[in-house]
């Protein structure tokens, strides 16, 4: 069988090429990302007591991490487009690990806060470059498959790292920060294994046709114009979808649901953690199947199904007579995440050429971080006005309307199995 035929069959199958070095580097790097917040969150009360902080001041260690990412993600994307993905990812891995490990030795709260801001910058680079690398290397349903694996790894880490962080925090407030040492071998692996032949080829072609000097003079200006032109209405709608997903996730599930469970059922924090872990399990299952589902449904349809799951989940929480019925509702939300999140990244990548892809995915990361930062604040304020259960019903109706609109307006065919050059 010819190589092209084997490649086409693999792309149509929606399988993940686990032995591919790009896949290995990306998934290893992605597994580091949940170390940023889920690992540290259980230690926040100890950090508060150690440095004599208020709850709000301690929570800034999480907020600073996300707020920096909102600002720097587009610039990180531009940098990755201009100098290459590897040249951004490898330093980001080292900075992420150094800042995290240095937090173990932080003598004051302000030093710790500064290190968290630096780490948030590196984390933004991790998120942007890993997704961009996948989108560059794969196309069609295989892109969905690898993006799905990426989300599955992210969800797996988000599920287990709070437990690991809590266990490490029983030793001392700063013990969880030792886990960041695992980032160093991953950074070395990325440096050795990752290559960017397409950029070298492009550079040689510019030299051969004599345009290299001209492009250096006007390149950034032309690049910015092209990147802005690539921000079409379709891409903007996908960025809105990314924002709404994280806004509802962190507002309704991560923030309001724990208060609702405590107020209505008097459950323990450990039980709440287990409930939220089932959501991540649902995300792992659905995301792992995203490539196979992409053979049947377009990315738009997968996003629509995801929002349908969100609406069903929130409605289920609203009507649940006991915690026993809350659990399957939360799992359904996780299934929605696994359906929609890889599809959003795949759809953005489909609409943008390689030249501007990292910049647009950087904007996507900014909207994601903004949703994570704003969702808890908005939902907490709304809950004080209407109550926990009515807020769940309102959120379910809101998300349900979005799903209905998407169902009517999304008519694109399923992704093609064709590969981009260099796959």
Cα–Cα distance measured from residue 227 to residue 52, given in angstroms and rounded to the nearest whole number: 46
Residue among 386, 246, 381 nearest 318 (CA): 386
Cα–Cα distance measured from residue 81 to residue 88, given in angstroms and rounded to the nearest whole number: 10
Average pLDDT (240-263) is 91
Cα–Cα distance measured from residue 130 to residue 205, given in angstroms and rounded to the nearest whole number: 26
If you write DSSP's letter for every residue of 105-169 in order, what string do you get?
G--SHHHHHHHHHHHHHHHHHHHHHHHHHHHHH--HHHHHHHHHHHHHHHHHHHHHHHHHHHHHH
CATH number at residue 283: 1.20.1250.20
Residue 50 lies in a domain: yes
The C-alpha R_g of the chain, in whole angstroms, comes to: 22
The mean predicted confidence, pLDDT, of the chain is 86
Which domain, by its residues, includes 59? Answer: 3-409
Cα–Cα distance measured from residue 413 to residue 300, given in angstroms and rounded to the nearest whole number: 9
Q: Can you give the length of the chain in residues?
A: 423
At residue 77, φ and ψ (nearest 5 deg) are: -60, -45
Give per-residue pLDDT as tens, 36-77: 888 888 888 888 899 998 877 888 888 888 889 899 999 999
Burial class (CB in 10 A: 0-12, 13-18, 19+), 296: exposed
Please count the CA atoms within 13 angstroms of the CA of 280 that sit on its side-chain side: 20
Please tell me the total count of domains within the chain.
Answer: 1
Residue among 241, 304, 7 nearest 139 (CA): 7
Who wins on pLDDT, 47 or 1? 47
Who wins on pLDDT, 11 or 192? 192
First to last CA, the chain: 18
Q: Which tokens belong to 92?
A: 């980001």
> At CA 91, angle to CA 419 and CA 218, rounded to 5?
70
- 3-state DSSP call for residue 232? coil
Residue 414 lies in a domain: no
At residue 36, φ and ψ (nearest 5 deg) are: -65, -45
* pLDDT confidence bin for 198, thresholds 50/70/90: low
Contact 83, 223 (CB under 8 A): no
Contact 392, 258 (CB under 8 A): no
Residue 327 lies in a domain: yes
- Segment (H or E) for 365: helix 354-386
| pLDDT of 208 higher than 50 | no
| pLDDT of 397 higher than 50 | yes
Contact 179, 35 (CB under 8 A): yes
Pick the range with the lowest mean pLDDT from 207-211, 221-225, 326-330, 405-409.
207-211
Burial class (CB in 10 A: 0-12, 13-18, 19+), 25: buried
Residue 420 lies in a domain: no
**CB proximity list for 408: less than 8 A, separation 6 or greater:** none
Residue 421 lies in a domain: no
Residue 348 lies in a domain: yes
Please report the pLDDT score of residue 411 as a whole number: 58
Who wins on pLDDT, 39 or 279? 279
Residue 416 lies in a domain: no
Cα–Cα distance measured from residue 23 to residue 18, given in angstroms and rounded to the nearest whole number: 6
> At CA 234, angle to CA 373 and CA 330, rounded to 5?
45
Handedness of CA 36, 40, 45, 49 (dihedral sign): negative
> At CA 224, angle to CA 78 and CA 228, rounded to 5?
100
Please report the pLDDT score of residue 6 as a whole number: 54
Cα–Cα distance measured from residue 35 to residue 54, given in angstroms and rounded to the nearest whole number: 23
Residue 136 lies in a domain: yes
């Amino acid at each position: 069988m010819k190589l092209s035929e084997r490649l086409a069959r693999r792309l149509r199958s929606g399988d993940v090429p686990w032995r591919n070095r790009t896949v290995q580097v990306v998934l290893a790097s992605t597994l580091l990302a949940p170390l940023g917040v889920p690992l540290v969150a259980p230690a926040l009360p100890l950090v508060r007591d150690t440095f004599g902080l208020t709850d709000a001041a301690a929570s800034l260690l999480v907020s600073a991490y996300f707020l920096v990412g909102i600002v720097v993600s587009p610039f990180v994307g531009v940098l990755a487009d201009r100098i290459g993905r590897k040249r951004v990812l490898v330093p980001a891995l080292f900075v992420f690990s150094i800042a995290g490990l240095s937090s173990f030795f932080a003598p004051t709260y302000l030093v710790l806060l500064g290190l968290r801001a630096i780490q948030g910058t590196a984390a933004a680079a991790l998120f942007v470059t890993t997704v961009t690398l996948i989108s560059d290397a794969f196309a069609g349903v295989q892109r969905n498959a690898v993006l799905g694996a990426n989300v599955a790894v992210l969800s797996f880490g988000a599920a287990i790292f709070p437990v690991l962080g809590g266990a490490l925090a029983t030793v001392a407030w700063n013990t969880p920060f030792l886990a960041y040492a695992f980032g160093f071998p991953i950074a070395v692996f990325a440096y050795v294994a990752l290559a960017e032949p397409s950029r070298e080829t492009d550079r040689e072609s510019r030299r051969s046709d004599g345009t290299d000097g001209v492009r250096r003079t006007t390149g950034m200006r032309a690049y910015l114009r092209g990147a802005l032109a690539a921000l079409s209405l379709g891409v903007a709608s996908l960025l809105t979808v990314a924002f709404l997903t994280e806004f509802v996730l962190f507002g309704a599930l991560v923030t309001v649901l724990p208060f609702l469970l405590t107020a209505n059922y008097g459950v323990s924090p450990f039980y709440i953690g287990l409930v939220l872990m089932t959501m991540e399990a649902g995300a792992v299952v659905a995301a792992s199947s995203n490539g196979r589902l992409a053979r049947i449904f377009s990315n738009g349809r997968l996003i629509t199904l995801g929002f349908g799951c969100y609406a069903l989940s929130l409605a289920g929480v609203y009507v649940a007579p006991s915690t026993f019925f809350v659990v399957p509702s939360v799992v359904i939300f996780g299934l929605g995440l696994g359906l929609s999140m890889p599809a959003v990244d795949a759809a953005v990548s489909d609409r943008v050429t390689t030249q501007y892809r990292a910049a647009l995915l950087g904007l996507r990361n900014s909207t994601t971080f903004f949703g994570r930062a704003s969702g808890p604040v908005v939902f907490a304020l709304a809950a004080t006005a209407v109550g926990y259960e009515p807020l769940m019903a309102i959120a379910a109706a809101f998300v349900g309307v979005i799903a209905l609109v998407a169902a009517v307006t999304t008519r694109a065919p399923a992704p093609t199995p064709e590969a981009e050059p260099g796959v």
